[in-house]
Chains A and B, each alone.
Chain A
Amino acid sequence: MTLAARHSFIELSARERARAILDAGTFRELLGPFERLKSPWLGLQGVVAQSDDGVVIARGRIAGGSAVVAAIEGAYQGGSVGEVSGAKIAGALELALRDCQSGRTVRPVLLLETGGVRLQEANLGLAAIAEVHAAIVALRRHVPVVGVVAGLVGCFGGMSLAAALCSHLIVTRQARLGMNGPEVIEQEAGVGELDASDRGLVWSLLGGAQRYATGLADTLLEDDAEAIAAEVRRAFGSTAPPPRSEQAQCFLERLAAIDPAQPPEPQALRALWGRAEAR
């Protein structure tokens, strides 16, 4: 160990995370809390609405290049995506796309800490997530879209699809990435399918280390703000491999080799799908 202390990224708020990713002194927040753009739907249900709706949009620079960071605050409503928070993410990506189309590259980063759709806004959250997806797919042709799932909320629901659409996905060991949260699976399919209280099991299935070892994430890092920021910078300086989400033939062949009655153990899947260096 050196004396240089590691600075936790996970312990940072969304605003501090965005600041940590951007080059020092370049952070400029858009639609900050004083703009009071709140959810129009939560108050109708007796829920106190936060004045930034739990998403921070920040412009600035990454390795000197123009950038935008969308950071979800996991501490507010479980990082859930409502109409306003979803529109902030989609709108920021759409503006980055507009600039990229006119030859001004903007480097987009998504800091994903979310349970998915905010059920108190249901269909408008789902609609916003579809717009986030559309923007990532369009933007990815111009510039890498970098996603970070650091923890502790993880990334679930429709936003797990957004993570999967990113050109480069960074995870930590504290991250979880899955479509259905363990509690939802237990409710929908029974405790025999998945015991959501078995943390070891949940992490073995959805944890960042497992996602990296099976090739479903690109980089596994320790919880270190500077290391994560450095990896984001590196991702914009290198050519992203062909997106996983375009590899339909490859993944269908992999699935065909699996017997659903006897699926592989998480450790065995690393050998089947993983990178050589991560096995």
Chain B
Amino acid sequence: MNAPQDDVQPGLRWLEALTASAGLRESGPGTVRLADALLGGEAARFIAVVPDAANRFPRARHGEVGLEEGWTLALLVRATVAADRGQRPRPIVAIVDVSSQAYGRCEELLGIHLACAAAVDAYASARLAGHPIVALLVGKAMSGAFLAHGYQANRILALDAPQVLVHAMSKAAAARVTRRPVAELEELGARIPPLAYDIASFARLGLLHRLISGVSAAAPSPEDIERVRGELAAAIRDARGGGRDLAPRLTSAAARATRAASIAVRQRLAEQWDAP
């Protein structure tokens, strides 16, 4: 028997847990799921990218954001913005469990950089239009896939669980590219927070709104699910009360410590911006 976390799909599991729906749509790839559910007394839209062993693009069968995933995310988020025009913009929850962008020759030829940019554009535009965007990290949040699905959110929440990982490149690939053994990368990650993969280290960077502890990511109980729903609703209220930009990522207590250079650069740029 495998350990439970080896064979579950955290993204799909949490989409089902939070919306009582698998989010399968009539058309488009089976990898991009969308479901609507009440959250904090209002209708919210949930979007997840999930694995699909039958995906027609073979490089996007294991939870990667590929060409159709990027463009479909863009289409669905844009449709949500269009549908809410003139009304109160509804919350959008991105459930994040994405292993990477799709690596392939066909993907590069057909412009996967543009497909992922389209998803970035759609989420950022929805945020600027007043939709509270909340990302919930329940599994991997890797590299370009996280940029496309989650990183433009007003608020980022994460489950404090071993399978929740954030990084710019998979450990094996990072070892090859930097010509460092995996053991050395792990030693560096333990010492230098931005190099680590685990979510507790990521929380020290000041980019997270909430790290949710004591919840089982792989097999959530009904109480776990209610707690996460409560956290999402609170994050949505917080986002509605704040600005439409990403400023909280620079003002949190952890950011003031770990992203001090990011803050200092902005302050000194502002001082020098206009000619003396």
Q: Is the interface of A mostly helix, strand, loop or mixed?
A: helix
Give the CA-CA distance A249 to B71 in the complex, in Å. 8
Q: Is the interface of B mostly helix, strand, loop or mixed?
A: helix
Give the CA-CA distance A205 to B144 in the complex, in Å. 19
Contact B121 A123 (CB under 8 A): no
Known: A37-B268, A184-B177. A126 touches B147 (CB 8 A): yes
Which bracket fits the contact residues of A?
Answer: 35 or more
Contact B167 A123 (CB under 8 A): yes
Q: Does B95 contact A (CB under 8 A)?
A: no
Give the CA-CA distance A246 to B110 in the complex, in Å. 16
**Minimum CB–CB distance for A72 against chain B, Å:** 15
Q: Does B234 contact A (CB under 8 A)?
A: no
Binds B, one of A6-14, A90-98, A219-227, A228-236: A90-98
Contact A83 B259 (CB under 8 A): yes
Q: Does B114 contact A (CB under 8 A)?
A: yes
Known: A123-B166, A193-B105. A35 touches B268 (CB 8 A): yes
Q: Does B173 contact A (CB under 8 A)?
A: yes
Chain B residue at smallest Cβ distance from A88: B265
Which bracket fits the contact residues of B?
Answer: 35 or more
Give the CA-CA distance A260 to B170 in the complex, in Å. 25
Chain A window 77-93, contacts with chain B (Cβ cutoff 8 Å), 1 for yes, 0 for no:
00000011011100110
Chain B window 127-151, contacts with chain A (Cβ cutoff 8 Å), 1 for yes, 0 for no:
0100000000000000110111001
Q: Which of A250-266 contact B (CB under 8 A)?
A: 251-252, 255, 258, 260, 263-264, 266
Chain B residues with CB under 8 A of A15: none
Known: A30-B269, A95-B269, A122-B168. A251 touches B249 (CB 8 A): no
Q: Does A239 contact B (CB under 8 A)?
A: no
- When the two chains form the complex, which single residue of B68, B121, B174, B260 contacts A245, counting CB atoms closer than 8 Å? B121
Give the CA-CA distance A158 to B124 in the complex, in Å. 15
A–B pairs, 8, beta carbons within 8 Å: A31-B268, A122-B195, A127-B205, A131-B249, A133-B120, A245-B118, A246-B78, A248-B78
B residues with CB within 8 A of A: 28, 56-59, 67-68, 71-72, 74-75, 78, 100-101, 103-118, 120-122, 124-125, 128, 143-144, 146-148, 151-152, 166-170, 173-174, 176-178, 188, 191-196, 202, 205, 207, 245-246, 249, 258-262, 264-266, 268-270, 272-273, 275
